[in-house]
Structure 1
Amino acid sequence: MSRVNIYNVQPAAYKAFFAVEAYLKQCAFDPIIEEIVRVRTSQINGCAYCIHVHTKGALQHGESQERIFALSVWKESKLFTEKERAVLALVEDMVHIYDQGITDHTYKELELHFSEDDIAKLIVLCTMMNAWNRLGVATHANELTVYK
């Protein structure tokens, strides 16, 4: 069943989303961390389009296929640094925000690796990726439908 194409029907909404993306670009995240945030968020939320786009992005920035394959089991994998684990815990807390928010444990782990400013930027990144996923899943977006 065909769904609304928000890009075509409500371009102002997309313009607002892209304004946040412009802000995120100036945050100068480590590109691997940014892409693993985007891929892992999309995996949990079930957004095939975003997984496709951000897996390609991660590979272009030098991420290994092995780590991308292990991303869904990062807690059991030895392939991720403590810094990356702190970020991935944030991703999971943000996707499941209804459960208990960002836990104190997650926040303390983030503070070991990031400044308060960086944590704020990571929270915005996670929020934006969740928003993109919700648009994509709600509208059945895929690479053929998003920008037509």
Structure 2
Amino acid sequence: MSLRFNYRAVNAPAFRAMMSLEQHTAGRGSDKLLTELVKIRVSQLNGCAFCLDMHAKDLLKLGDYQDKLLLVTVWREAPIFTDKERALLELAEAVTHISEAGVPHDVYEKVREHFSEEEFVDWIMAINTINCWNRLAISTGMYPGASL
């Protein structure tokens, strides 16, 4: 595998814009476990090995979450996920595949049981941010261990 080019160096303003969005979303979410689960699930859906590798490692740094890491692909069938985690993972999938069915009302309602409208927007922004990072990484040929 080879990196196509270093997008950070080639277009520093675009990278700064992405970092600004990342910093905004990181500053809004207080639950690091939920944030990493969302980033991992979205990266799995998009097939982004670079981001999946990074966020799996970040999750494991937070504590003993190996079971959640191993089972996040099948979260619907794994009883270790809380209702709050399930609602957010379902939202992450709906937003990532938004062209297929939008965000169904029942998904919205499940998320709203756990989060305010403001937090709902924060999660949409976080989901969109990781989707954007995935697309940058995949488009430029990033892979686990690629150095920039």
Gap regions ≥5 residues in structure 1 = none
In structure 2, do the counterparts of structure 1 residues 55 and 2 end up closer, same or farther at CA, with 3 Å as the change threshold?
A: closer
2:16 alignment partner in structure 1: 15
Give, in whole Å, the separation in 2 of the partners of 1:131 and 1:45.
Answer: 10
Alpha-carbon deviations, 1:28-75, whole Å to 9, x = none? Answer: 330000000000000110000101110111111115111100000001
Relative contact order, higher structure (CA 8 A, sep 6+): 2
RMSD: 1.3
* SS of match in other structure, 1:124: helix
Q: Structure 2, unaligned stretches of length 5 or more? A: none
Cα distance, 1:144 vs structure 2: 4.1
- 1:93 match: secondary structure: helix
Give yes or no for contact 1:5–1:145 (8 Å, CA) kept in 2: no
Moved over 6 A (4+): none
Alignment of 1:53-132 (within 5 A): 53-132=54-133
- Aligned pair count reads 147
TM-score by length of 1: 0.94
